[in-house]
Chains A and B, each alone.
Chain A
Amino acid sequence: GAVVSQHPSWVICKSGTSVKIECRSLDFQATTMFWYRQFPKQSLMLMATSNEGSKATYEQGVEKDKFLINHASLTLSTLTVTSAHPEDSSFYICSARDLVGGQRRGYTFGSGTRLTVV
């Protein structure tokens, strides 16, 4: 089935530094990937939609200069949290869908990245 690989699984960084999170579709091409953020015991909130070869679309309230998204190929999207602060500590998850599989296969999610900013 469709697999999305996300790295790193967890990262601890100092306040003010940047962190890059990678998301790869392993056995299908993903022209679109989605980035979500999830705080403890809360739902997944869409941050941005990453489109291969074009600019990402950010949800209202998400700073595009802080959360840089690059979708340079059909299988790779990256999210860079720039100048991270403790309030950016969260669980970041990417998602994509294998269109060949149809809607019955649903969306596939990466394993998530637990970011802790100290």
Chain B
Amino acid sequence: GQSLEQPSEVTAVEGAIVQINCTYQTSGFYGLSWYQQHDGGAPTFLSYNALDGLEETGRFSSFLSRSDSYGYLLLQELQMKDSASYFCAVRDQRDTGRRALTFGSGTRLQVQP
């Protein structure tokens, strides 16, 4: 089976940088993904790491260390609209499009003025 751990809540101010950590345990490993979900909305895909290192997409970056079973999402230049829940997710089977994701418990980010 799989399990993922994330902090439950993070608070930061506008313009700041925040890092959301995720540790995982899986029987196999085929990448770590990050999703954003605003209250009442659907999750939206942010990033995916299959290999060690940092992936940057605009203000968001994601890092993976497979040896440590650890990853993080880095949000820079925080904006009020970034207030949302952030989920890390894994799939423990080779991707065929037929394997669902397992999500972490989610980190609720609150950005304050």
By a beta-carbon cutoff of 8 Å, the part of chain A in contact with chain B is 6, 31-32, 34, 41-44, 46, 49, 51, 93, 95, 97, 99, 103-112, 114
Contact = CB atoms under 8 A, between A and B. Distances in A.
B41 A51 contact: no
Contacts, number: 55
A110 B37 CA distance: 12
Interface string B10-33: 000000000000000000000101
Nearest to B97: A99
Given A43-B87, A43-B105, A44-B87, A109 B97 contact: no
A112 B101 contact: no
Interface residues of B, number: 24
Q: Is the interface of B mostly helix, strand, loop or mixed?
A: loop
Contacts of A51: 98
A114 B46 CA distance: 24
A51 B100 CA distance: 12
Contacts of A109: 42-44
A107 B48 CA distance: 11
A104 B105 contact: no
